[in-house]
Structure 1
Amino acid sequence: MKLQKPSLSFWQIFNMNIGFLGIQYSFGLQQTAINPIFLYLGAPEDMLPILNIAGPVTGLIVQPVIGALSDKTWSNRWGRRKPYFLIGALLGSLTLFAFPHSPVLWFAVGLLWILDVGNNMAMEPYRAFIGDKLPEKQLSLGFQMQSLFVGAGILLANGSIVLFQYLFGGESLESGIIPQWLYYSFFIGAFLSLATILWSVLKTPEIPPSEKEVLEINKIKSLPLGHKFRKPFLEIMGSIKVMPKFMWKVGAVYLFQWYALFIYWQFTTPLFKLTMGYSTSEAASQAAKMSLTYNIVTMLVALALVPLTIRFGGKKVYALSLVGTAIALFTIPYISDPLFVLAPMVLFGIGWAAMMGIPYTMVSKIVPQDKRGVYMGILNMMIVIPMGIQTLTFGPIYKYLLDGNAINAMLFAGVFFAIAAFLAMRLNEKTKG
């Protein structure tokens, strides 16, 4: 019998999602500050994709495994998803505190690996957490609330970078030394990563498992250690074999969408060095302002997308948002004014709000309740696989096919967003097939 979940108030949904603020603040630093740090420490531009391989690799392994484990976890004290939130947040917090102290490039790259493990441990169960707690009629609000906090977290991260550079900046960033003003943003992230997760953990009780689920969980606890280790991997493979066709179609959209997003995040700073003649410091600051702009838009429109998706369907709203993102990337390389170049970020912000909410809502409605964690993990595999492909392939593409030109890189990403929009129109929400 299907569990009838009570509807939650707006503020209950708000509180259960506040932990996403800290996770996305950390993600915002990865988008805007990590690649400039690599450049400060001497990384060549064509090496940026491969230096970001940590995200795809850890996401590919950690998210589905944690999803499978959390499906089969229950503690009367800590719950099902919360233990993974807390461990991931603590790991991320410690790494963010250490990151700006990186003395050399290899040290910073190593910390990125640890940071990505922590963020993935916290993020994946959070997606399943929404599906666990909310009835179907509130799923759109729940995931779009997460989208709002995506915007808020990244907004705070980039706002802090711009603010602290304005207050304490001025030193040269071409000497291989990470500037002191950048430290403060990472220290704030270290605090928020843990504090916001604790807020959600303390404010939101989890729904206990059914008797059938408890029996399954206890059965797994009694297995030998080797069997326990293999269990989540077998769970993932078995779930992929019977995965709804709809999820394969989402995977096709994600292939182009996330490949393009990784290009945008990696090459915004090199783009502004080329189109505006900026130093690394100035280009990184402009990239932060771009991120500020589109995440403000994301915050403003995230919840507004809920009635639009109800009226017109998630597929149409999602596809149209991807078209807008493509237009934004086609436009950015041809604007040399640092103020006017913020205008395309309105379209990018609408697209980002849709990307971070609508697909999760659609998938959560069609996957089995007792496998929501593993399927959310598989959905996130569909994010990191394109990222992994991008990190391995785009360096040579950029160097040899695109003539090492950041303008061409941004246009390339725009084409991929246009393809993603076309594929999004193939998503049929009415069936599980």
Structure 2
Amino acid sequence: MEMPVQGDMPAVNEKPRLGFAGLWNISFGFFGIQIGFALQNANMSRVFQSLGSSIDDLPALWVAAPLTGLLVQPIVGHMSDRTWLGRFGRRRPYFLAGAILATIALLLMPESGGLLMAAMLLWMLDASLNISMEPFRAFVGDMLRKDQHTAGYAVQTAFIGAGAVVGSLFPYVLDHIGVSNIAPDGGIPDTVRFSFWAGGAALLAAVLWTVLSTREYSPEEQIAFAEAQETESAASSAALATRSPFGGLVWIAAGALVALAVRAWGLEKEVYLLAALLAAYGAAIILAIRLARAGRSASMLAGIVGDFSGMPPIMKRLALVQFFSWSALFIMWINTTPVVAQYHFGSADPASAAYQEAGNWVGVLFSVYNGVAALAALLILPALASRIGKARTHALCLTAGAAGFAGFMLLRDPDTLVLCEIGIGIAWASILAMPYAILASSLPQAKLGIFMGLFNVFVVLPQLLVATVMGSIMKAFFPGEPIWTMAFAAATLLIAAAGALRIGQEA
């Protein structure tokens, strides 16, 4: 440990610099969390289809994942900002609780007796991973001085990439050492089963490493470090009381219009979820305004809604970029397995050996883009950002990702898809590092958790839209042709790249 004990804190309001060991310790838990996410992303479509789901039902089954992130991350961010459990710390209790629950979900997932159980466990897994992940974003800002934020998020991104490589390769490696890769009728292959169990153990061990090897700064120490920006910590909640509830009514009306459109145009039933979310957000605005006017601006709902409306300007400009970036990623996670199976291995039948071979190859492809991301985060992004700026670096990397997605439509040899994953990996590294490096130094320390949680809204909303709307689009215009989802992914990354160029000079 390189952390100073409380009595040895320096007199100046400057956090001590952390060396490599300190940077390693504060982010190593993300290695385990990303193993869990990688197993989920690379295998859940395969699990659902092995249990009898059709490709058209995949978006609805996947909707649990982004919905839990939308609900969990702002709540956990708000709570962790206000938590202090003595030697157990501020963020670490959430790391550990989420890791334990995620491990249980990973252990139970291969034993799913049907689609309903698998969908419920996916909900539990994603909620648990989000409980652990959200405080890790704030943890880097808590523990590092401003001139180390870029390095801290680069190391975190490297661990994310490394964990995803390990998680993605599990089934492929097990297949090559003789574990059965054939799905029994209505069941899950042993390669996937053992991968989830090993991933659960690795996740818990990695998070325990960070929990046991770090000591968080106390609230008093954080106040000493945080300078004058802490005096503005209650401003957004107080401003909420002056707002009109009309905005909430507009959101409720928008939800009602979406619901009517589903009925009138025969859209997929999962689009009703989007309508419900719009209406729920409108109701939350109205209730939060009433709480603020009643002098209860410190309540969780009023605090979250007030902070959402009072986000820093640069965070608002980054929202558009995040929205389109994560639309592409969620399209990839849902559709890569059926696309590769149908167009590169010649089988759309989940019970066939070719389909299961394609599933393993997708795990390899995902490990490639994550491995590239780990290297790019450390070797490419810092050097490029120092030359052309963070925003231009982000735009360039997103363009490389768009080229990678376009390659899926042009190439038919499965081996050549590795080239596509290199471009996607460069984009993934930037998506994980650059927005947080841009934000971390401009966010108030006292609200780092809640703002990081709210920033996740712009990660989750596009995933919900993909999960609810993409199925209707594909059925209407490209029935039975999932390859066109890759064209959508390429286009959304190009839009995100254009948005990154408009972030501003300070980035």
In the superposition, the TM-score normalised over structure 1's length comes to 0.93
Task: Report the counterpart of residue 221 of structure 1 in structure 2.
Answer: none
- Structure number with higher relative contact order (C-alpha < 8 Å, ≥ 6 residues apart): 1
Alignment of 1:350-365 (within 5 A): 350-365=426-441
Instruction: Give, as a single letter, the amino acid of the residue that structure 2 aligns with 1:307.
Output: A
- State how far apart, in whole Å, the 1-side matches of 2:42 and 2:143 are: 33
Asked whether the equivalents of residues 27 and 156 of structure 2 are also in contact (C-alpha less than 8 Å), the reply is: yes
* Deviation at residue 238 of structure 1 after TM alignment: 1.2
Task: Report the counterpart of residue 321 of structure 2 in structure 1.
Answer: 253
Asked whether the equivalents of residues 181 and 356 of structure 2 are also in contact (C-alpha less than 8 Å), the reply is: no
- State how far apart, in whole Å, the 2-side matches of 1:294 and 1:341 are: 11
For each residue in 1:67-98, what CA deviation from the matched residue of structure 2 results, as whole angstroms up to 9, or x when unmatched? 01000111112100011001000000111111
For each residue in 1:323-358, what CA deviation from the matched residue of structure 2 results, as whole angstroms up to 9, or x when unmatched? 000000001122121211211111111111111111
Task: Report the counterpart of residue 224 of structure 1 in structure 2.
Answer: none
* Deviation at residue 167 of structure 1 after TM alignment: 2.2
Relative to structure 1, the CA distance from residue 148 to residue 131 in structure 2 (aligned partners, 3 Å threshold; closer, same or farther) is same
Asked whether the equivalents of residues 175 and 181 of structure 2 are also in contact (C-alpha less than 8 Å), the reply is: no
- State how far apart, in whole Å, the 2-side matches of 1:230 and 1:268 are: 44
In the superposition, the TM-score normalised over structure 2's length comes to 0.80
Task: Report the counterpart of residue 81 of structure 1 in structure 2.
Answer: 91
Task: Report the counterpart of residue 287 of structure 1 in structure 2.
Answer: 362
* Deviation at residue 168 of structure 1 after TM alignment: 3.1
User: Is residue 391 from structure 1 mapped to residue 494 from structure 2 by the alignment?
Assistant: no
Relative to structure 1, the CA distance from residue 381 to residue 339 in structure 2 (aligned partners, 3 Å threshold; closer, same or farther) is same
- State how far apart, in whole Å, the 1-side matches of 2:447 and 2:168 are: 36
* Deviation at residue 366 of structure 1 after TM alignment: 1.1
Asked whether the equivalents of residues 324 and 351 of structure 1 are also in contact (C-alpha less than 8 Å), the reply is: yes
Alignment of 1:20-169 (within 5 A): 20-169=30-179
- State how far apart, in whole Å, the 2-side matches of 1:59 and 1:343 are: 31
User: Is residue 381 from structure 1 mapped to residue 460 from structure 2 by the alignment?
Assistant: no
Asked whether the equivalents of residues 180 and 191 of structure 2 are also in contact (C-alpha less than 8 Å), the reply is: no
* Deviation at residue 310 of structure 1 after TM alignment: 2.5
Asked whether the equivalents of residues 33 and 132 of structure 2 are also in contact (C-alpha less than 8 Å), the reply is: yes
For each residue in 1:3-48, what CA deviation from the matched residue of structure 2 results, as whole angstroms up to 9, or x when unmatched? 4111100121011110001100000011101110001001111111
* Deviation at residue 160 of structure 1 after TM alignment: 1.2
For each residue in 1:361-387, what CA deviation from the matched residue of structure 2 results, as whole angstroms up to 9, or x when unmatched? 111111111100000001111101111
- Local SS of the residue matching 2:149: helix
User: Percent same amino acid at aligned positions?
Assistant: 36
Asked whether the equivalents of residues 89 and 119 of structure 1 are also in contact (C-alpha less than 8 Å), the reply is: yes
Counterpart selection for 1:308 from 363, 384, 396: 384
Asked whether the equivalents of residues 271 and 333 of structure 1 are also in contact (C-alpha less than 8 Å), the reply is: no
- State how far apart, in whole Å, the 2-side matches of 1:39 and 1:88 are: 27
Asked whether the equivalents of residues 168 and 181 of structure 1 are also in contact (C-alpha less than 8 Å), the reply is: no
- State how far apart, in whole Å, the 2-side matches of 1:429 and 1:147 are: 24
Task: Report the counterpart of residue 317 of structure 1 in structure 2.
Answer: 393
Counterpart selection for 2:304 from 236, 249, 271: 236
- State how far apart, in whole Å, the 2-side matches of 1:67 and 1:314 are: 25
Instruction: Give, as a single letter, the amino acid of the residue that structure 2 aligns with 1:245.
Output: P
Counterpart selection for 2:331 from 258, 263, 266: 263
Which moves more between the two structures, 168-177 or 79-88? 168-177
Asked whether the equivalents of residues 296 and 302 of structure 2 are also in contact (C-alpha less than 8 Å), the reply is: no
For each residue in 1:175-218, what CA deviation from the matched residue of structure 2 results, as whole angstroms up to 9, or x when unmatched? 2210112112111111122111111111111011128979x9xx
- Local SS of the residue matching 2:378: coil
Relative to structure 1, the CA distance from residue 230 to residue 115 in structure 2 (aligned partners, 3 Å threshold; closer, same or farther) is farther
User: Is residue 274 from structure 1 mapped to residue 342 from structure 2 by the alignment?
Assistant: yes
User: Is residue 186 from structure 1 mapped to residue 196 from structure 2 by the alignment?
Assistant: yes
* Deviation at residue 311 of structure 1 after TM alignment: 2.7
Which moves more between the two structures, 167-176 or 140-149? 167-176
- State how far apart, in whole Å, the 2-side matches of 1:130 and 1:33 are: 30
- State how far apart, in whole Å, the 1-side matches of 2:61 and 2:366 are: 21
CA RMSD of aligned residues (A): 2.2
Alignment of 1:336-355 (within 5 A): 336-355=412-431
For each residue in 1:399-420, what CA deviation from the matched residue of structure 2 results, as whole angstroms up to 9, or x when unmatched? 1122331111111111111111
Unaligned ranges ≥5, structure 2: 1-10, 225-230, 232-294, 348-353
Unaligned ranges ≥5, structure 1: 217-226
Asked whether the equivalents of residues 275 and 333 of structure 1 are also in contact (C-alpha less than 8 Å), the reply is: no
- State how far apart, in whole Å, the 2-side matches of 1:132 and 1:126 are: 10
Relative to structure 1, the CA distance from residue 228 to residue 13 in structure 2 (aligned partners, 3 Å threshold; closer, same or farther) is farther
